Structure 1
Amino acid sequence: MKAKSKDEAKSHAKAQSLDKDYKDVAVYIIHCNRTEYYYVDTDSLIRMWEQLIGYYINGVFTDEKQHS
């Protein structure tokens, strides 16, 4: 899923992480510097022009800045 705003991406990621199919699975929010879109995915693989914003697990957000 892609979103134009960080808030929209966080909302979708949180909802997806609360889904029973994604129990105990990290749902990542990634920002693409080239397109200026935010992407929500369960794959944390990022490219050089992308930045990991954070992730949700079971509805709990963890900001990536806390870990770098």
Structure 2
Amino acid sequence: MKTKSRTEAKKLAKAYSYNKEYADVPVYIIYCNRSEKYYVDTNSLIQSWERLIGYCINGVFTPEKQNNNIKK
């Protein structure tokens, strides 16, 4: 699923993670620089133009730690 906002993506990931099909499975939130959209998926494969925002497991959101050594 893709969304336009980070808040909407977090809500969607949390809803998916409560689903019995996705119990104990991480639901990832990924931001795409090209499309400027957020993607919610269980596949953690990230392309070079994408960035992992965080993930939900059983309704608990865990933000991805940012590497301070990367220049923006």
- TM-score in same-fold range (> 0.5): yes
Q: Residues 47-66 of structure 1 correspond to what in structure 2 (within 5 A)?
A: 47-65=47-65
Counting only pairs closer than 5 Å after superposition, residues 1-68 of structure 1 correspond to structure 2 as 1-65=1-65, 68=67
Q: How many pairs align? A: 67
Q: Which runs of 4 or more aligned residues in structure 1 lie more than 3 Å from their structure 2 counterparts after TM superposition?
A: none
Specify every segment of 5 or more residues in structure 1 that has no aligned partner in the other structure, as ranges. none
Q: Kindly state the Cα deviation for residue 4 of structure 1 after the two structures are TM-superposed.
A: 0.2
Q: Distance in 1 between matches of 2:65 and 2:6?
A: 15
Task: Give the TM-score taking structure 1 as reference length.
Answer: 0.95
Fraction of identical pairs, as percent? 69
TM-score computed with the length of structure 2 as normaliser = 0.90
Q: Give the secondary-structure state (helix, strand or coil) at the position aligned to 2:35.
A: coil
2:48 and 2:22 mapped to 1: Cα distance?
A: 27
